[in-house]
Structure 1
Amino acid sequence: MLRLRFFWLILALVVVSALFLTLEAKGSWSFTLWFRGQKLASLLLIGAAVSTATILFQTITHNRILTPSIMGFDALFLLILTLMIFGMGAGPYAQVPKVTLFLINLILLTLASVALFTLLLRDQRSDLMRMVLTGIILGVLFRSLVLFIQRLIDPSEFAVLQSASFARFNKADPDLLLVSAVLVCLAGGAIWRMRHRLDVLALGEVLPVSLGADPRRGQLTVLMLISVLVSVSTALVGPVAFLGLLVSSLTYRVIPSWHHGHILPAAILIGGITLVGGQLVLERILHFETPLAVVVECLGGLVFLILILRKGST
């Protein structure tokens, strides 16, 4: 049964990817395939990074509602970006090589996210509402600081900040894609090697100890990998709050399994189908100019409200 479902997921991803590359293609095929291929690679990479990070975060928090973005990571990204532009100025910021700027963002986001997630997960006895409220409060704090700093910068710096603050799936830089792909593949390889350990960590706080595992050490390792994946995706395209929640919710419904050897590949496939299929429908079929991030945020927000209301009624 699972093999059949994986077959349909792989087939669906192949079909939407082929349509994305070829539908309404005009002019030189070499240029079209190269141009669209970069966008396709960006969508697949972001889908894999965000979906994997979300599944891992839900594993160590033992909750299928929480995601890194909901816990305030996007607001943290905006704060770091605002501080960089405010400190450097719009001119020097724009002159920094893209790869260098990407690596700076990646390092700062990784360090800050490890500190943030460690703070949120320090008390494992915290209930869902306490963790959600903590993440929301921190997010409000970060956004308030961003708004305060925005009032101090000049209009040119504000314009640069606004253009960099929104998720942009249709812009792909080959150098950044290469660096991101290497980092995601390294993190993905480490995650795949510890997939059986993740099954043990998902059992809670007591049972892993009886099985000879160290939950705290495992959670810290997973936390580092989550930070790398989320930092790569956020630094590459910008913040997307509810993409991970949308993909993880679909994954748990499509793949009825607790094994991460099944859940993680399915989440990567569904993440790719969601982004590539969504971009295909909006850009090639409906010819809308609405950014894909807006649609994803809307659908993901609705899923979050449904899940939180169900959780509250049980």
Structure 2
Amino acid sequence: MAGQDWIAADWGTSHLRIWHMSADGTVKSRHDSDKGMGTLDSDGFEPALLAALPDLPGTITVMICGMAGSRQGWCEAPYAAVPCTPPSGSDAVRVPATDTRIDARILPGIKQDSPADVMRGEETQVAGFLALNPGFDGVICLPGTHCKWVHISAGEVVSFRTFVTGELFALLSKQSVLRHSIGTEGWDDAAFSGALDQAMGRPAAFAADLFSLRAENLLHDLSPATARARLSGLLIGMELAAAKPYWLGQSVAVLGETGLAEVYAAALEKQGLPVTRADAERMTLEGLKAAYAQIKETA
């Protein structure tokens, strides 16, 4: 495998992201596709991958993370159980592809039996962060539709918890009575900060505080942008209150895209925590590079 190009792929539920990599780890090209796991049956993965790849003069290794390894994906990659190091190239499941030009391998996710929890894709971001920060001990926060808090010690994932905060925001802002009051854009830092404190200090009042957003819009012309920030503050405040055993007194790294990651980082910094920020896409690619380097060494 030495000296060969290879392919890194992040295959999520709604997207496929591919990097054509040179042997030295340089990105030669990048391709995005809407052919996520949720749009394909098991027979559709190989054609979708081939359609996204550059011209293949010979066999090329494809290192894949994410939902392609789920039960509904291309080929199930069984979960590793905590405590464990993030799955590496030697743990990847080889896919029986029809086209001999591709040697496709899917990285496993991670599971936790109690409290029951799973992740697919985020473990590769964690691996990428640890590859760049090998001495890190603390907690990695991965904001998203389903935000994950991952406890790291001695290079292992010790435990983790998932919060469906982003999904709740989407449901409440688009499908509940609050949809009439919540804006789709705009922000109010002071409103977010106040709602964050409110939720962390009085979590039992959460359901009532939600309806106040609607009532204040009707009675006092609460702006949609302010209501949006307050809804986010209430939801993230509830999450931080529940995740306090993870972040309290810990070194915390936030891995995510710019907007949402900045909101989480600001919320944590408001609790007096120093926060390290890292780009989620770069961490995914670094994790895939580390996995490929491991199989290259053993080839």
Question: Which structure dedicates a bigger proportion of its chain to helix?
Answer: 1
Shared fold by TM > 0.5? no
Q: Considering only CA atoms, is the larger Rg found in Structure 1 or Structure 2?
A: 2
| TM-score, L = length of structure 1 | 0.27
Give the number of the structure with larger relative contact order, counting CA–CA contacts within 8 Å between residues 6 or more apart. Answer: 1
Q: Which has the higher strand share?
A: 2
User: TM-score, structure 2 length as denominator?
Assistant: 0.28
